[in-house]
Structure 1
Amino acid sequence: MSRLHLCAAKGFFLGWCSVIASLPMLSNSADAQELRAGTLFDSSRLHEVEITLPAAEWQQLCKQTRWQGGFGAMFAADPADKPFTYFKGDITIDGVAIAGVGIRKKGFFGSLDEVRPSLKIKFDEYTDQQPIEGLDRLTLNNNKQDASQMSQLLAYRIFNDAGVPAPRCSLVKLTVNGEYLGIYSNVESIRKPFLQDRFGSPVGKLYEGTVVDFHPQAVSKLEAKNKDADEDRDRVELLAELLATEGDLPMERVSAIVDLDQFLRFWAVESLIGFWDGYTQDQNNYFVYEDPATKKFRFLPWGADVCFTTGGGPLAAFGGDGHSEAIYAQAILPNRLYRSAEMPEQYKQTMLQVLDDAWNEAALLKEVDRIEKLTEGHLHEAQRPSSRSGNHGMPDLTTDRVREFISKRRETILAELESTPIAIAQQPRIPMHTEELGTARGSFETRWSEGFGPSNSDSELQITLKLGGQEVELADLSASAHLLQAPSFPGFGGNEQRTPPAMIVLKGTRSSDDKPVMVTFMVDRASIKDLPQQPIPVSGTFVEGAPRFGFGFSAPMLSGDIKLSPGDTELGEAIAGEFDVRIVKLRGGGMGGPQAPR
C-alpha cells in the first residue's frame, strides 16, 4: 500500500473514532456509573430523559389499558393481574445512555393515557445490569391530574420532613422516539433499594394498597410485593380481624402490629396536605412495610399527584357526618383509632408537631415560585391550562390553587383542632371488594356486526352457568359480536384516547322462570389479532332480567380469560372463542354509603 493510501486510511480511521467518541454510549453498566440516585433526584433542575424503542411496540404499549369491561371492571380485577407488559428499549438519562431496559405503561385510574402514558423503566428486565447506583428502576408519572406539576415534588418532601419515609422526587423532560411528551415526575420506586436506604434492610414484607383496606372481606386485595409477603399474610389478616372487633378497639394488640407513632405522623401529613386520594381518606395509594427491626407495619405514601386541595375528594360525602380538613378518617384504621380514649389528643399533638417540623409557608411558597419558573416553557400542549378541564369532577390543581392552599392551611387546621375531639364519620367506609356469585364457561361462534345490532341468526353458543353453586339451565341461546366506539368518562381518565373495544354478547333465557340472562365481554381489538388462540384476560358484565348496556358499578362483573380464534375485526367476518370467567359483585368503596367493617 502506498504512503498516500496509508495516510488516507489513517485519516479515515481517526475520523470515525472522533465521530464515535462524540456519540452517547449505550452501556450496560460501567459508563452509566456517572449517574447516582442522589443526582437523579436533584429537584433543583429539569432532568433530560430520552427513550427509544420500536415504533410499533411503543404504540402497543400506549394502547394497553385497564378499561376493558368499562368503568368499574378494573376494581373487580385481582391485584395480581398485570394489564401492562414490558417492552425492550434504550434510555438516555442526562446524556448517559443505558441499553436493553424494560419499559411498560403504568397507572390505575385518573393517570391513564394513550398519548402521554406514565411509565415504569426496569433496568434488569432483559439484561443483568445495575447502571445507577441506588436504583433498580424509574417511575415516570405523567402529572395528568396535576396542572401545577408540583404536587408529588412538594408532598413527598413534606412527608420526609415530618419523619415519614417517602420517595424522593424530581422533574424530567421526557422524549420518546423523538417526540417530546412534556414534564414528568420522576418518583423513587418503593422497592428494595428504597427499603435498604430507609430501613437498613429490604427483607421485610411489603404490600401495596390500591383501593383496599384492612377489612376481612377485602384484605386479600392488598398486593404482596415480595415473596415473603405473598406466602405469609397472617399479620395483615390479623389486623383486619382486630379492626373488625365489636366494641372498644384492642389497642395493645393493634400497637403490636402497627407502629402507631409513625402512623400518626403519616396520618397527620395526609390530612395536612389534603391528600384525599391516599390511605386515610380514600383507602388508596399506599405501601405497608413490616420493618424487620421492630416487626411492626410502617405506612408509606404513594401516588401523591392530587394533593393541596380542600373538600376531601369526590367520596367525602360518604362520610355521612360532614368533612373535616384537619383529620382524614374514612379508612378503617384511622377511624377506629380516633374513637379510642386517648387518640384525639395524641393526634392533635402530632399534627401540631408536624406543623412545626414540616410546614413552613414562606419556604413552601418560595418553592412553588421556583418550580413554576423551572417548568415554564417546557409543558406539553396537553399540560397547558387552556387544554385542561379538571379531573375527578374537581377544579384543576393549578399553581395558584397550590399557593392559596399553602397560605390558608395552617389557619384552617388550627381552627378545627380547637374543638378536639373533632367529629368524624360514625363508621369507617367499608372498602371496595368483590363477592363471588358464580361462574360461566363455554364456547361460541358468531359474526361481527356494527353497533348494538341483533344477535346473529346462525350463531352458536354452549354455556355452563353456575350461580350460588347451582347450575342454571338456559334456553334460546345466541351470540353476537359488536364493534363499538370507546365510552368516555370525563374527569376519571376519560381524556385517554383509547382504541374502540369489541363487545361479545351471549344471551339465553333461564328455563325455570323465562328470565333473560346476558353475559357481555369487552375485548381489546388488538388482542384478537396479536394474541390469537391464547388466553386473554377479559372483563365484562352479567345481567339477569331486562337487557341493559351498562358497564358501571351496579351490574355484576366478569373476571377471567377468553381464547379467540384468529381473525379480523371486520364487519361480517366470523369470530369464535372459548371463555372461562368468574361472576362477581362489587361491594363497598362508598358505592353503598358508609358501613361498619363487620
Structure 2
Amino acid sequence: MVKFLVGLATLASIAFADITFNCIGYPAPGNSIGVSINGVITKLAALENTAPVWTGVVPGATSAVQYSYVEINAANTPVKTEAFVRKLNQTTDIATDNEFFDRPITHHVVPRLPYTYLATYPSKSKAFKETQIATLHLTGDKPAIDKLNASPETDGAEVRVNFRFINAKTIYSQRNITLKTSGKSSKEFAKQSYKIKFDTDFNQTFFSRPNLKLRSMATEPTYLREKLYIDTLNAVGVPTQQGSYVRLFINNEPYGLYLMVDDIKKSFAKQTVHGGDDLIIPGSLIQANAPTLSEQADLAYKGPLSAAYGKETYISQNLGNNLVTEPLSQLITLMKDLQDFDPVATPDPLVYWNNRIDLDGFLRNMALEYLFGGFDNYWMAGSNYFIYFNPTLGTSGKWQWLPTDFDGTFGNGAEIDPLGSYKTLYNFTPDHPLVSKLIIKNAAINALFNTIIKEIVSTTFKPEAMNPHIEALNKMISLDAAWDFTLPRKSPGKNPGFTFDDFNNNLVNITKDMSGAIKPWIAARANTTSVELQFTIPAGTADRVPPPPRKGGNGDDDDDASPEGGNASSDGVSVRAVGSVMVVVAMVASSLLLA
C-alpha cells in the first residue's frame, strides 16, 4: 500500500499531456527549428502571427522530459544543436516558456538594490521584466530602413514597421508603428539607438508605454552603466525611466543587445509620475539639453520671454498651463526665482525652495550625479534632464526633476577623480545655479544634501549592496553581449571596437576609452564620501525603508515580484503554478485512488 501511494504521488507530479515546445529562433534561410528528445527530432513551425517563435506539440512527451532545440536544414538534418539539456520549469507544465535558441536561461536571478527611500512604482506594465531578456522582432520596408540607417542624422526621418515583442510568456504584436533613430551624439555611432512610437490616437499601445527608446549602449563596454543608474534611481525613490534588456532583430537581421527604456513624453508623466491616474491632467514638461558647450540648460534667467532661450535647449513636451506662444512661461518664473535667491541672505531657504520644487527629489538626483560621476547631466554639463511641473505636489504644484541618459558615468566620457569631493565640482562656465547656489553656498540645503548622501551611501551606493547586483546583471547579459560584439553594424560612424574582454574587464579595470572601472569607482567614491562627511558605512544590505507595494493588486503569473528580483530559482528556472494542469493531475490521482 505504501509503495502504491508513493507511486500515486509520483504520478501526481507529472502532467499526463502532450507537451508544447516554444523556441525563439532565427535559423538560416531554408532551415527550421526543431526539438530533440532522446535523439528524436520533431520539427517545429513558425506561424505568421507568432514568428520568430517556433512551436509544436510532441505527442507522448511528459512534463519530466529533457530536451534541446536544434536548427535543421531542408533535409531535416541537424546543422546546429544546443550544447545543453533543458527541463520544464515544473513537472506540472504542459508547455515551455518562449525560450531563445542557444540561451540556457530564460528567467535570471538579479538581487535587487536595497531601498534608501520609498519608491513609487509606475503603473503596472508587462513591458519591462527585470529578470528576462525579451526579443523585439520588427519588420518593414527594407530600402526605407536601410536609408534610415545610412543617414541617421536626417531630421524627421522615420519609417513604419510592424512590431512584435516576445518574452517568456507574452507575444505582443502591433502593426504600423513609427521607428526612427534617437539621440544627438549617439547618431554618430555605427550601432544606432532608436525610438519607437505607438500612435495612441489610433488605439495603438504597448502595455501603457506608447513611447520607447532602444539605447544602443555603444559608448561603453560593460552595457551596465545606464541600467545600474536606473536601478539606483528606483532604490532612492526618484521617478525614472524603467529599463530592461532586449535582443533587436529587424527583417530577421540581428541588430544586437539593447536597453529598452521609457521615452519621456506626456504619457511618461501619466504612467510613471502619476501611476496611471486618468484623473490627473499633466502639467508642463520641459526637455533640457546642451546643444553646445556654451548653450546649456543651466536654468540661468535670460529674461521673461521664451524666445530668449534656445529652441534646442529647452523643448516643451507638454504645455500644461503655458500658452502656445510662451511655452516656457512657468519655467521662466522658476529661473527668475533662482536668480533672485540669495544663498546667504534669503530667510528660511528650505521653505523657499520646498514651495517651488521637489527639493528632496532634486537633491537625490544631484547626489547620484556626483556619486556616479555623471559628466553629461545637469551638475557638470547642464544637460540631459526633464523638469516637470507636477500639479499634485504641494498646494498648487511644484517642479519635479526627471533625469535621463546615464551612459556617461563611472569614468566614461570625462576623466573625473573618484576620490574628489563634490565641493570642487561646481565652478563651471556657464554657472549651474541650482548646484552652486543651493548645494554649495547655502548652509541649510548643503546640510540636507550631506544627509542624503550619507543615507544613500550607507544603504545603496556601497560595494556590499551594488556588487551582487552588478555581477548578476553581467552574468545575465553575458552571452548576448558576446553575440552583440560580433555583429556587423548597420550605419556609418564610430565603432569604439570594444571586445568581450572589455565587457568583463571594465567591471574591475580601466579599459579602452574608459578612465574608470565600475566596482573600484563605487568603492573609492563611497569611501571618500564617508571620510569627508565623517560617517561609518554600516555593514549589511538591509533596506532603510520597506520595499514599496507593487501596483496591480496581488500580481499574476507574469509578474517579476520575488524579493530577489523575479519569479526565479537559483538555476534560472521560473517558479510558477499552472493551475489547470494541477487540477488535471489531481483528478487523475483521485481516480486511481478510487480504483
Q: Aligned residue for 1:31?
A: none
Match of 2:434 among 325, 333, 356: 333
Match of 1:403 among 519, 522, 542: 519
1:98 is displaced (CA, Å) by: 1.7
| SS, match of residue 126 in structure 2 | helix
| SS, match of residue 225 in structure 1 | strand
Q: Aligned residue for 2:498?
A: 385
Change (3 A) 1:46 1:56: same
Distance 2:424 2:203 in 1: 45
Distance 1:168 1:400 in 2: 25
1:97 is displaced (CA, Å) by: 2.5
Q: Aligned residue for 2:300?
A: 215
Matched to 2:289, the amino acid is T
Match of 1:267 among 366, 371, 380: 366
Q: Aligned residue for 2:178?
A: 102
Match of 1:369 among 448, 460, 471: 471
Q: Decide whether the 8 Å contact of 2:211 with 2:264 is kept in 1.
A: no
1:85 aligns with 2:157: yes
Runs of 4+ in 1 over 6 A off after TM superposition: 34-37, 387-390, 397-400
| SS, match of residue 187 in structure 2 | coil
1:415 aligns with 2:531: yes
Distance 1:388 1:361 in 2: 22
Q: Aligned residue for 2:191?
A: 116
Match of 1:352 among 451, 454, 462: 454
Q: Decide whether the 8 Å contact of 1:174 with 1:181 is kept in 2.
A: yes
Q: Aligned residue for 1:559?
A: none
Q: Decide whether the 8 Å contact of 2:385 with 2:404 is kept in 1.
A: yes
Q: Aligned residue for 2:389?
A: 290
- Encode CA deviations 1:121-162: one digit per residue, 9 max, x unaligned: 11118x712332221122101001121111111101111111
Matched to 1:188, the amino acid is D
Match of 1:54 among 121, 141, 149: 141
- Encode CA deviations 1:203-261: one digit per residue, 9 max, x unaligned: 11111111112123474531110133563422311222233348547445544322212
> In angstroms, what is the RMSD of aligned CA positions?
3.7
Q: Decide whether the 8 Å contact of 2:221 with 2:499 is kept in 1.
A: no
1:40 aligns with 2:127: yes
Q: Decide whether the 8 Å contact of 1:145 with 1:396 is kept in 2.
A: no
Higher strand share: 1
Matched to 2:518, the amino acid is V
Distance 1:178 1:114 in 2: 22
Q: Aligned residue for 2:234?
A: 160
| The 10-residue stretch of structure 1 (37-46 or 178-187) with the greater mean CA deviation from structure 2 | 37-46
Q: Decide whether the 8 Å contact of 2:199 with 2:205 is kept in 1.
A: no
1:328 is displaced (CA, Å) by: 5.0
Counterparts of 1:63-82 in structure 2, within 5 Å, are 63-66=150-153
Distance 1:389 1:113 in 2: 21
Q: Decide whether the 8 Å contact of 2:338 with 2:434 is kept in 1.
A: yes
Q: Decide whether the 8 Å contact of 2:411 with 2:515 is kept in 1.
A: no
Q: Aligned residue for 1:71?
A: none
1:22 aligns with 2:109: no
| SS, match of residue 40 in structure 1 | coil
Counterparts of 1:505-520 in structure 2, within 5 Å, are none
Counterparts of 1:365-514 in structure 2, within 5 Å, are 365-379=467-481, 380-381=484-485, 385-386=498-499, 396=512, 401-418=517-534
Bigger relative CO (Cα 8 Å, ≥ 6 apart): 2
| SS, match of residue 277 in structure 1 | coil
Match of 1:243 among 338, 344, 355: 338
Matched to 2:286, the amino acid is Y
Distance 1:260 1:108 in 2: 30
1:183 is displaced (CA, Å) by: 1.1
1:304 is displaced (CA, Å) by: 0.9
Q: Decide whether the 8 Å contact of 1:86 with 1:102 is kept in 2.
A: yes
**How many matched pairs?**
370
- In structure 1, stretches of 5+ residues that fail to align are 1-18, 27-33, 67-81, 420-598
1:397 is displaced (CA, Å) by: 7.5
1:113 is displaced (CA, Å) by: 4.1
| The 10-residue stretch of structure 1 (163-172 or 201-210) with the greater mean CA deviation from structure 2 | 201-210
Q: Decide whether the 8 Å contact of 2:136 with 2:164 is kept in 1.
A: yes
Q: Decide whether the 8 Å contact of 1:143 with 1:149 is kept in 2.
A: yes
Distance 2:501 2:155 in 1: 27
Distance 2:183 2:501 in 1: 19
TM-score of the pair, normalised by structure 1: 0.55
Q: Aligned residue for 1:528?
A: none
| SS, match of residue 410 in structure 1 | helix
Distance 1:213 1:157 in 2: 26
Distance 2:212 2:147 in 1: 20
Change (3 A) 1:360 1:45: farther
1:271 is displaced (CA, Å) by: 1.2
- In structure 2, stretches of 5+ residues that fail to align are 1-43, 52-96, 99-122, 275-279, 291-296, 303-307, 486-494, 504-509, 536-595
Q: Aligned residue for 1:16?
A: none
Distance 2:243 2:386 in 1: 17
Matched to 1:138, the amino acid is L
TM-score of the pair, normalised by structure 2: 0.56
Q: Decide whether the 8 Å contact of 1:239 with 1:254 is kept in 2.
A: no
Q: Decide whether the 8 Å contact of 1:258 with 1:297 is kept in 2.
A: yes
| SS, match of residue 104 in structure 1 | strand
Q: Decide whether the 8 Å contact of 1:53 with 1:90 is kept in 2.
A: yes
Matched to 2:318, the amino acid is N
